[in-house]
Amino acid sequence: MKSELAELDQKRPMPDDEAPDAVPVPHALVPHLNETAILLDIDGTLLELMPTPREVWVPPGLSETLNRLTERTSGALAMVSGRSLNDIDLIFAPDVFRAVAGHGAEMRLTVGNEADDVHAPPMDKELKRRLAAIAKLSPGILLEDKGYSLALHYRLAPHAEKAIYEAVSLIRADLPNAPIEVLPGKFVCEIKHSGFTKATGVRELMKHEPFKGRRPIFIGDDVTDETVFAIMPEMNGLSFSVGRRAMGVNGHFDTPNDVRAFLARLLDDTRLE
């Protein structure tokens, strides 16, 4: 195993223009599943992006793959998402997975618990009211209230992108001391409390069993996943982007379907035993 791990360490994060063209075959990537933690973004990574957040769906076979990987890693599989825990559970129902949710605002360490920790307080009501009013700029802008954050989805109104960000900037300029952060994503502008990210959530997750002491593998697709890409080296972990060759990753997938196929191959590779 040491020789395989040394081989992987030579594939450490590199500049974007030098990022590898493909992901290594399973046995080279994961010498032993019982020493690995699998961390997965959802939208655009495990599941295809849809016109609205409510339209995403779980393809046949994925639930079985995720449950088998959870068993093979002794539970060290978690979703790392900007979605709330409630949303994640609705998507994967009746399955329930460990998760870092809400960009690190929520966490579930034990299957069966609604949440083990909540890091973020609810967003100020007046601030939320002002931000929510931005959705009136154009038909097709969808408002998603997560309590600790607010997301403006404009996949159905791409022409409104500039106006949305200008409106958010005006509100921030009017409230310079408000503890908020703007997260640009794929056809979404999310405003959340500052001080927590997917990376802070993953750091906390990796302190607890069954993740503690394992080598994490994180797969994500969006700008909000870059904070996790950045901390993987300090955990001796590996990261992979989807749909683009992101800076600082060890490889990339073209589509969520490629991610699902890769996860299935992990289970079929007998050399991982």
Domain extent for 144: 125-193
How far apart, in whole angstroms, are the C-alpha atoms of residue 149 and residue 103? 9
Specify the DSSP element, H or E, that contains 37. strand 36-40
How far apart, in whole angstroms, are the C-alpha atoms of residue 130 and residue 128? 5
Confidence of residue 20 (pLDDT cuts 50, 70, 90): very low
Q: Which residues contact residue 46 at a Cβ distance below 8 angstroms, ignoring those fewer than 6 apart?
A: 40, 62, 79, 256, 259, 260
The CATH number given to whatever domain includes residue 133 is 3.90.1070.10
Task: Clarify whether residues 88 and 68 are in a common domain.
Answer: yes
Helix (DSSP H) and strand (DSSP E) numbers for the chain: 9, 12
Question: What pLDDT, on the 0 to 100 scale, is given for residue 213?
Answer: 96
Instruction: Convert the pLDDT of each residue in 202-248 to its tens digit.
Output: 999 999 999 999 999 999 998 899 999 999 999 999 999 999 888 88
Task: Clarify whether residues 106 and 224 are in a common domain.
Answer: yes
Under DSSP, the state recorded for 161 is: H
How far apart, in whole angstroms, are the C-alpha atoms of residue 145 and residue 70? 30
Instruction: Convert the pLDDT of each residue in 25-50 to its tens digit.
Output: 555 666 688 899 999 999 999 999 99
Q: Which residues contact residue 1 at a Cβ distance below 8 angstroms, ignoring those fewer than 6 apart?
A: 31, 32
Task: Clarify whether residues 79 and 67 are in a common domain.
Answer: yes
The domain boundary, picked from 138, 170, 193, lies at: 193
Question: What pLDDT, on the 0 to 100 scale, is given for residue 170?
Answer: 95
Instruction: Convert the pLDDT of each residue in 162-191 to its tens digit.
Output: 999 999 999 999 988 888 899 898 899 999
Nearest to 216 by CA among 8, 46, 2, 7: 8
Q: What are the helix (H) ranges across the chain?
A: 2-9, 26-29, 62-72, 85-92, 125-132, 161-174, 198-205, 226-231, 256-268
Query: Is 48 contained in some domain?
Result: yes
Query: Is 35 contained in some domain?
Result: yes
Q: Which residue's entry shows tokens 């908020």?
A: 180
- Determine if the pTM surpasses 0.85: no
The answer on pLDDT for 13 being more than 80 is no
Question: What pLDDT, on the 0 to 100 scale, is given for residue 14?
Answer: 40
Instruction: Tell me what the mean pLDDT of segment 60-74 comes to.
Output: 96
How far apart, in whole angstroms, are the C-alpha atoms of residue 18 and residue 3? 24
pLDDT > 90: percent of the chain: 62
**Which phi and psi angles does 215 have, rounded to 5°?**
-90, 115
Strand order in the sheet with 106-108: 117-118, 106-108, 98-101, 77-80, 36-40, 215-220, 238-242, 251-253
The answer on pLDDT for 51 being more than 60 is yes
Task: Clarify whether residues 181 and 246 are in a common domain.
Answer: no
The answer on pLDDT for 18 being more than 50 is no
**Cα-Cα end-to-end distance for the chain:** 12
Q: Which residues contact residue 123 at a Cβ distance below 8 angstroms, ignoring those fewer than 6 apart?
A: 147, 148, 149, 150, 180, 191, 192, 193
Question: What pLDDT, on the 0 to 100 scale, is given for residue 21?
Answer: 53
The CATH number given to whatever domain includes residue 240 is 3.40.50.1000
Query: Is 20 contained in some domain?
Result: no
- The residues assigned a catalytic role are 41
The number of folded domains in the chain is 2
